[in-house]
Structure 1
């Protein structure tokens, strides 16, 4: 099993560590967020250590810092050849990480989400990382992407979670207006959507699920047609991220 270190102890670091606990790994964590670090240190396989000791005592180091903080924290730490570095700092490009973490060369960037604790969380990564796959691939789809721009596009589309949940909450509220049971309405809507989503969708599975819900004149098809203009709004919203994320390619046109 691996010796794993975390520089930075925020929400994502906590989620990653808890997703890996109980598998025989040992963990060294920095005390940057004292409250989170103290809570994690209650786990038997976790110890708090200074940044230098975290890097020195780890085979795999997760970088969970802000990019501007990393510029101050990482230089001078004892990174080494043969050590794996995985960054969740999507605002820190690979060239910057190679400079800050030299002489380590096995460096990758990924975008985890807090639900990784429960599994099923997509992990887009660049460059491909056998280490990330070995750690998380059994319970989470690890998706190697071709370059950093593609990784940034994955970050952009992650913003879909909030508007989709907002729509589901509105639908649950509508249902509760008839049933008088808000909790039951929410449970129904969440389970209904979940049962149509494949655990690890392959190419075309979403389209096939949609096809099965497209009976002409049916309730699903009728509501879909009524909401069709929202697709253009979605693409416009995603396209608004282009300058912020440095996205230069892609058509941005809805089907």
Structure 2
């Protein structure tokens, strides 16, 4: 397949690496010249090309720009009917993309994360995208969403990665204070957390994993009780995204 990427940041790099060795022809724009050159040197299928050639030469175009930049870059590019457009941009709704990418109409939004480079990345998407399924479905979990609001809620939850890693690093630092070996402490905590996470959790798997760590008076239950107020902080933080992500207040009231 002929695939184009407009914008060459870290997420573009991860997606390109996830497509490596599959026989695709990949065009990347030179907006980030250093990253584009690195990808061209690393991935044999990659060619660097101007934006108009990326669009003209691709069956599938990934939009990997900042939303404010997209308004300057996309108008006038040779998008066409029958071309699949997949955006990974925050703050760029479908209605805006339809205007910027006309006359193309096969337009979807997804949320790739860095693990897409090796597989195992969840990919919520709206609307459903056969092109995304074809390119990434074999090694990643494709999750079609019923609405743009549902997709946007995934954007909010994706921000959980940073505070969770921050908590994990706090625990690593605490452990290393007793062992004197930060590297081993990090390896232990990462492997421990990974061991409790189902490879592909499905209805109730996470609750089941938590239940196994709920022995009354046990260390896990005791620490969880001590940290219980943080759950309210998490919900408040997520609710802070409602306006930015266009989420209906009524959808998540409890």
Given the two structures, how large is their TM-score scaled by the length of structure 2? 0.95
Please name the residue that 2:9 is paired with: 10
TM-superposed CA distance for 1:90, in Å, is 2.3
1:23 pairs with 2:38: no
For the aligned residues, what is the CA RMSD? 1.3
Any runs of at least 4 consecutive aligned residues in structure 1 with deviations exceeding 3 A, and if so which?
Answer: none
Deviations 1:89-112 (A, max 9, x none): 121110111122122111100111
Q: Is the 8 A contact 1:90 1:110 kept in 2?
A: no
Please name the residue that 1:205 is paired with: 205
**2: distance between equivalents of 1:232 and 1:180?**
34
**1: distance between equivalents of 2:114 and 2:164?**
17
**1: distance between equivalents of 2:217 and 2:133?**
44
**Matches for 1:2-151 after TM superposition, within 5 Å:** 2-42=1-41, 43-151=43-151
Give aligned pairs, total: 252
Gaps of 5+ in 1: none
**2: distance between equivalents of 1:15 and 1:148?**
24
Please name the residue that 2:252 is paired with: 251
Q: Is the 8 A contact 1:122 1:140 kept in 2?
A: yes
Counterpart secondary structure, 2:252 = coil
Q: Is the 8 A contact 2:122 2:142 kept in 1?
A: yes
**2: distance between equivalents of 1:164 and 1:82?**
41
Q: Is the 8 A contact 2:17 2:118 kept in 1?
A: no
Counterpart secondary structure, 1:175 = helix
**1: distance between equivalents of 2:134 and 2:209?**
30
Counterpart secondary structure, 2:143 = strand
**1: distance between equivalents of 2:134 and 2:108?**
14
TM-superposed CA distance for 1:206, in Å, is 0.4
TM-superposed CA distance for 1:252, in Å, is 5.1
**Matches for 1:155-170 after TM superposition, within 5 Å:** 155-170=155-170
Counterpart secondary structure, 2:198 = coil
Deviations 1:216-246 (A, max 9, x none): 2211111111111111111111111222222
Q: Is the 8 A contact 1:7 1:65 kept in 2?
A: yes
Counterpart secondary structure, 2:47 = strand
Gaps of 5+ in 2: none
Deviations 1:146-167 (A, max 9, x none): 1111111111111111111111
TM-superposed CA distance for 1:116, in Å, is 1.6
